[in-house]
Structure 1
Amino acid sequence: MEAINEWLLASGDLLWTWIVLPVVVVLGLYFTVRSDVMQFRLIPEMFRTLTDKTPRNADGEPQSVSAFQAFTISAASRVGVGNIAGVATAIAVGGPGAVFWMWLMAFIGGASSFIESSLAQLFKTRDRGSFRGGPAYYMERGLGARWMGIAFAIILIVCFPFAFSSLQANTIATTLTTTMGTDAAWVPWAVGVGIALLTALVVFGGVRRIASVTQALVPLMALVYLLLGLAVVAINITEVPRVFAQIFTQAWGFNEVVGATLGYIIMTGVKRGMFSNEAGLGSAPNAGASAAVTHPVKQGLVQTLGVYFDTFLICSITAFIILVSVPDLTGASQGIDLTQEALTSTLGPWSNIALSVIIFMLAFSSILGNYYYGESNIEFITRNETALTLYRILAVAAVLLGSAASVQLVWNLADGVMGIMALINLVAIGLLSPIAFRLLKDYTAQRREGRDPIFTRERLPGVGGIECWEDELTVTGPLDVVTRGSQARKHGTHPGATGHRG
């Protein structure tokens, strides 16, 4: 087992260092320049579209989940182990300078997140009263490469609902075991059974149940965690200038405390940052595609905001909790233990219990978000109900087994698989990015005219594979299909109408 773990670690480092990282940086910078730095320029639009009204059908019901609910589904996957345990690991092995590279990559990655989520919206499909889509869908419909979509879907299923959900469950079990002050072997299994049962209750209820749970859990737990973090920072306010100085100065050179070189500091910050905010990874577009919006760019903007929410708020508060409380990182623990030690050293033992509750809620919501990503891709491969049921069972089993698994092995497996998945998605969005830039141009033109942008597929002549976005009535959703058809014929706008009565 140790040999497998070492091989996974070495292979993952090679993949990230020589292939994934250069592609991530080059494409992110290209998207930033081509979009006129939209990830900064359109920040006000991100907040405006987050609260957009959801188009409704003829019965007055939402066409699918809202822009905000899609945001919380993606945030559910983003906000979890990566923000609390992952950031702590990055600081322990890369020093404070790793935080700077997490921030920088979040900003650059914001453009990549915009491209992938806008494309996911454009090429989404209807599915049982909601929408479904993601990278596999735009690979098939936009690039005409179903084989590429299937390869991506398989890797995502291995990566998110299996590997990453196992990590989330493992973190919950580790945190509760530490809080209880016991090392009994039965505790992780008992925790795993409880998490697995809760997961099964939600995931067998479909995307709307997942959305309703994450909509409640994510904002509340994120707010509580931010308040805890701000309390730690306020108590150690005199340490804040030192922390900022460490973050910026140690980002550029050797860190003598943890023995990290510049390359290792950058690599650690980028990998842990990408694991946390998922920009360009190809995961968040699966949630972004589920939203009912009137223009694909709206959800692209919302998902860019999700990257910022994850990194600049949640990851940063973890970093400051640790760095203001633990000025000397020599021999520091890795993962969740470091965050726990930092909290309890400032706020006392009660904060350990509070953190356990927060981690449970955030990690559980991440499991739900990860599950939804996998379901979307299972249904891309096959619509067989038996296959979907089998997937649900395996996803629940992964949560159970992950609670007692070797965490280092799972981390290294997840890192390697994530690198392959990111590479496939980045190639796809690089090839399809001209379409996303046309969407952005259409959106900004409508905004300059003072309109709330509405997209129809006729606004992208020459682009095939678009199933939805038939006409404005379909997009805004006030009428059912029969009524739309009769009204169109009445006004002579139906595709079969000639404009005269003959």
Structure 2
Amino acid sequence: MIEGFLTWLYDIVWSKPLVYGLLITGILFSLFMKFFQVRHFKEMIRLMFQGEKSPTGISSFQAIALSLAGRVGTGNIVGVSTAIFIGGPGAVFWMWATSFLGASSAFIESTLGQIYKRDEKGQYRGGPAFYIEYGIKGKTGKIYGLIFAIVTVISVGLLLPGVQSNAISSSMKNAFQLNPWVIAIFLAIIIGLIIFGGIKWIANAATAVVPFMAIIYILMAVIIIIINIEAVPALFALIFKSAFGMEAAFGGIVGAMIEIGVKRGLYSNEAGQGTGPHAAAAAEVSHPAKQGLVQAFSVYIDTLFVCTATALIILLSGTYNVTDGGNTPSDKASLIKDNGIFVEMSNGDKDYSGTAMYAQAGIDKALQGGSYHFDPAFSGLGSYFIAIALFFFAFTTILAYYYIAETNIAYLTRNANFRTSFIFINITRIVLILATVYGAVKTADIAWLMGDLGVGMMAWLNIIAIWLLHKPAINALKDYEMQKKQLGSGKKAIYKPDPEEVPNAVFWLKDYPERLRKENIND
């Protein structure tokens, strides 16, 4: 009964208005900013490696690594496979389109995160709860920010960690026959060591792991593509033809193809959902637009690179399926839900690990024996590789979840004394570790629903907020462009906002100018 209610609520939250609302938002913001995604592509890459940081903030690269830790997760395997399984090859094109347009939403929310960030007890804090309260102002802003913070803490601090650890545990058990309790204890120890170290440790871990895991994963896809290079041109032709209904086999599902492609693209890169601004606000930059541009590029990395790698591996197998969202045509053992794919094994367990996604390259064998194959080229090695990739993907996502939860706890307790804030943050750490352990040893059916429900509610709250507050972010981009034009590429653009436009941007109106003044005196 509870699962039925949650499913009903999930269908409302993740309905067409949210999916198409996020897409339309991306289109309009792209138009407002004259498709900055194309104009500033080179600048995005340059800024990503710029080394600004301080004892209070982290570098742009650390911020994008932390953001990607949240964006690049099991959704890059589970989500892509679901999209292709339900919508066919054309869904990949709509994921690409969503990534391109979603970069504008990522810019707006991340720039707002920077504009309204606060220096809280020697550490930068920011995100939707902050810009909602300080941007909307008054009692409405406070209540709105409070609701967002509570929903976010419950979603990323309690519900979603277990989903990620379940993916790790299931894939490790399938590939290496490891006991789930061994994985659970190992995860608890290493996650505890990192999150108790604070944002610097989390950012350092993300910086070390995220580039490594993404590069290795993409490299594997490149090797597979090279081995099957003769099939690649026809593969891309198939993606584009089926995207617009020109391929007979997929001509009748264009609507479903667009919807699932858009939904899975947004679900994977999280543009507009309100997760990215938390990491963006922690960065040390001289201008908010800098971090907005860097975070926009992170959407490309997630969808255009990592998700495309997954898609090409699946499509190269040539044995993908298309379904109406119900059971598979073969024997109904593989079940599809809008919030994920799982394989139901003979003992009744449901494998959400993501390893099952690659069973699309040989699904009948997978269902008969529970033996998964990555693709024909790496048959036998696939399950090991996917287990390791999923470990890094899901592990760093849990770290990102914790940082988001901690930021919102800090927001909720910012007016309390240090001891009270310290107690609540440590409770959050313990709850997240326990949720991680629980997910690793238990089936996470309801947790998937509840976690996705929480993320959907975050998206609704955030999309409304960025529409109400988008003008300061767009003006920040214009100001950055103007300064770069006047100062040249070798000069640092410095944000000096209009107090009437953003009266509550305390950091940029007071703290940062004071720091610059002191630095000039010291010089």
C-alpha distance in structure 2 between counterparts of 1:126 and 1:113, whole Å:
22
Match among 151, 154, 159 for residue 150 of structure 2: 154
Greater mean deviation of Cα atoms: 446-455 or 121-130: 446-455
Q: Measure the CA separation in 1 of the matches of 2:253 and 2:442.
A: 31
- Closer, same or farther in 2 for the Cα pair 1:405/1:87, shift >3 Å? farther
Q: Given that residues 456 and 469 in structure 1 are in contact (C-alpha distance below 8 angstroms), is that contact kept between their aligned partners in structure 2?
A: yes
1:27-86 Cα deviation digits (max 9, x unpaired): 211111111111221111101111223154xxxxx4410000000000111111011222
The change in CA–CA distance for 1:394 and 1:258 in structure 2 (over 3 A counts) is farther
From 210, 213, 220, the equivalent of 1:221 is 213
1:402 corresponding residue in structure 2: 439
Distance 1:30 1:158, change over 3 A: same
Q: How far off is 1:255 after superposition?
A: 9.3
Query: Per the alignment, do residues 413 and 55 of structure 1 end up closer, same or farther by CA in structure 2, a change over 3 Å counting?
Result: closer
On the 8 A contact 1:126/1:468 being kept in 2, the answer is yes
* Equivalent position to 1:293, from 271, 275, 285: 285
2:381 aligned residue = 350
Displacement of 1:132 in angstroms is: 1.1
Distance between the aligned counterparts of 1:250 and 1:323, measured in 2?
13
Q: CA deviation at 1:317?
A: 0.2
The residue aligned with 1:59 is none
2:107 to 108, 111, 114: 114
Partners of 2:125 and 2:118 in 1: CA distance: 5
Please show how residues 173-252 of structure 1 align to structure 2 within 5 Å: 173-181=169-177, 187-252=179-244
What residue identity is the alignment partner of 2:207?
Answer: Q
Alignment of 1:357-396 (within 5 A): 357-383=388-414, 384-396=421-433
Contact in 1 for aligned 2:317/2:375 (Cα 8 Å): no
The equivalent of 1:5 in structure 2 is: 3
Q: Which runs of 4+ in 1 moved over 6 A?
A: 254-260
Map 1:425-444 onto structure 2 (within 5 A).
425-444=462-481
Which residue is 1:337 aligned to?
356
Relative to 1, partners in 2 of residues 1:389 and 1:76: Cα closer, same or farther, differing over 3 Å?
same
Match of residue 96 from structure 1: 89
1:257 Cα offset (Å): 7.6
What is aligned with 2:337? none
What per-residue deviation string (whole Å, max 9, x for no partner) do you get for residues 408-464 of structure 1?
Answer: 433333333222211110111111111111111110000111343433444454421
Q: Is the 8 A contact 1:115 1:436 kept in 2?
A: yes
Gapped runs of 5+ residues in structure 2? Answer: 323-327, 335-340, 342-353, 360-371, 415-420
Letter in 2 for 1:32: S
CA RMSD of aligned residues (A): 2.6
The verdict on how the C-alpha distance between 1:456 and 1:402 changes in structure 2, with shifts beyond 3 A counting, is same
Return the offset for 1:136: 0.5
Does the residue aligned with 1:250 lie in a helix, a strand or coil?
helix
Bigger mean CA deviation after superposition, 100-109 or 339-348: 339-348
Q: Cα–Cα, structure 1 residues 254 and 168, in superposed 2: closer, same or farther, change >3 Å?
A: farther
**Identity percentage of aligned residues:** 35
Could you say what secondary structure the match of 1:327 adopts? coil
Paired letter, 1:174: S
Between the aligned partners of 1:258 and 1:179, the Cα distance in structure 2 is 34
Residue type of the partner of 1:395? L
Aligned length: 473
* In structure 1, C-alpha distance between the alignment counterparts of 2:221 and 2:159, rounded to whole Å: 28
CA displacement at 1:6 relative to structure 2: 4.0
Q: Helix, strand or coil: the match of 2:124?
A: strand
Shift in CA distance, 323/460, structure 1 to aligned 2, threshold 3 Å:
farther
Whole-angstrom CA distance in 1 between matches of 2:433 and 2:119: 26
CA distance in 1, matches of 2:396, 2:204: 11
Distance 1:253 1:157, change over 3 A: farther
Equivalent residue letter for 1:390: I
> Quick one: distance in 1 between partners of 2:121 and 2:304?
36
Contact 1:344 / 1:352 at 8 angstroms: preserved in 2? no
TM-score in terms of structure 1 length: 0.88
Instruction: For 2:426, give the aligned amino acid.
Output: T
Q: Distance in 2 between matches of 1:221 and 1:475?
A: 39
Q: Which ranges in structure 1 are unaligned for 5 or more consecutive residues?
A: 57-61, 489-502
**Matched-pair contact (CA < 8 Å) for 2:373–2:380:** no
Aligned residue number for residue 65 of structure 1: 58
Residue number in structure 1 paired with 2:503: 464
Residues 284/68 of structure 1: CA separation in 2 closer, same or farther (3 Å cut): same
Cα 1:241–1:412 shift into 2, 3 Å: farther
Q: How does 1:311-330 map to 2 (within 5 A)?
A: 311-329=303-321
